């Protein structure tokens, strides 16, 4: 019985963590979009940001939220946010 409770708790934590990552992707995309509008980075870096943002959105829609967060974090780093 104790093992069932522990497994149920672990499963709940795992599912909640996945939902938390999923919820941060749209927020990150909005931050990137806002920063792109006023950014003074080079055109080459801006193209990288656009590609990473698109990759992040694609991965988010496909359910790969950790991959989405990784791509969006790279874009945010390039933008300095």
Hey, where are the domains in the chain?
A: 22-79
- What is the rounded CA–CA span in Å between residue 22 and residue 34? 20
What does pTM read for this prediction?
0.72
Tokens for 45? 């870096």
The predicted structure's pLDDT at residue 28 = 97
Band of pLDDT at residue 23, cut at 50, 70 and 90: confident
Q: What is the pLDDT of residues 37-71, one digit of tens each?
A: 999 999 999 999 999 999 999 999 999 999 999 99
């Amino acid at each position: 019985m104790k093992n069932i409770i522990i497994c149920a708790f672990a499963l709940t934590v795992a599912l909640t963590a996945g939902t938390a990552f999923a919820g941060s992707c749209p927020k990150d995309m909005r931050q990137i979009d806002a920063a792109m509008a006023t950014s003074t980075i080079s055109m080459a870096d801006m193209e990288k940001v656009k590609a990473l943002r698109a990759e992040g959105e694609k991965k988010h829609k496909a359910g790969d939220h950790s991959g989405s967060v990784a791509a969006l974090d790279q874009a945010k780093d390039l933008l300095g946010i």
